[in-house]
Amino acid sequence: MRAPNKSEAEFDALFEYVDTCSDASKYRLMLLLSIRLGLRPKEMAGMQRSWFRGDELRIPHGYSKGQGGHGSLPVCSEILAALDEHMGEREGCVFLNRAGRPFDAAGISSALRRLYREAGQEGSCYSGRRTLATNMVDRGVNLLVVQKVLRHSSPVTTQQYVGVTQNMLSKALYG
């Protein structure tokens, strides 16, 4: 099953729920990285604080999927503030489980699925990624730029992430 695209209201409700959870700062950051940057669970699982350099996130070779996965992305102040709130002065691995060990990709995926479910929504670790891609195309961003953001090696893969919105249909029909 494809991860569903989410509305801004659904994301707002999800963040409201997350703020009531224990470890809220961890889960808020996890969601922001999924929704704002389209990160994959594997990228979040291996993430180190040192990957953040100023207003940039640098994903090294080997921590992503496929040939197009590594690279850098600009990071907004909202993500940097969430990172600081979550980590404080701590260095090293960004996401640790309750036992103090790094999350693996399956753990990140499970945590995100659980957050959606507990917030009363259908969603998965790829809902943020698909919604980001759809919203970018809806705003008129070139598909090759979306491909670069999602770190796909082929635009064909990127096309599979993009849903069709009412706005896209209206523009296609009425200009």
- Say how far apart CA 165 and CA 128 lie, in whole Å: 16
Q: How many CA atoms lie within 13 A of 51 on its CB side?
A: 22
- Say how far apart CA 175 and CA 168 lie, in whole Å: 10
Per-residue pLDDT of 39-59, as tens digits, reads: 999 999 989 999 999 999 999
Instruction: Please give the mean pLDDT across all residues of the chain.
Output: 94
Q: Provide the whole-model pTM.
A: 0.93
- Say how far apart CA 112 and CA 124 lie, in whole Å: 6
- Say how far apart CA 118 and CA 141 lie, in whole Å: 33
Q: Which amino acid is at 168?
A: M
Per-residue pLDDT of 145-165, as tens digits, reads: 999 999 999 999 999 999 999
Per-residue pLDDT of 94-148, as tens digits, reads: 999 989 999 999 999 999 999 999 999 999 999 999 999 999 999 999 999 999 9
